[in-house]
Amino acid sequence: MSRLVLIKIASKCHVVTTTHAAITNATNITYATSATTTITTNTSATTTNAKTTAIISPATNDST
């Protein structure tokens, strides 16, 4: 029984810690959902972890 619980916890943690591929300024993004999506991208060519947050409206194509 305890072994089954541990498997469930590990599976749940995997979902929580799953990361998405990095999005660069050259990425073309299209949304067809009704929810506003917040995307954090690294916009600095020389500084690591310099972040900017862009809020993209529904069904907006960001080709910057």
Instruction: Give the pTM.
Output: 0.13
Q: How far, in Å, CA of 36 to CA of 55, rounded?
A: 7
* Spatial CA neighbour of 64 closest among 29, 26, 38: 26
Q: Over the stretch 43-54, which tens digit does the pLDDT of each residue have?
A: 554 444 445 555
Question: How do the domains of the chain map onto residue ranges?
Answer: 20-64
Q: Is the model more confident about 8 or about 23?
A: 23
Which helix (H) or strand (E) covers residue 56, if one does? Answer: strand 51-56
Instruction: Spell out the alpha helix ranges (H) of the chain.
Output: 2-17
pLDDT for the residue 2 = 47
Residue recorded with tokens 């862009």 = 54
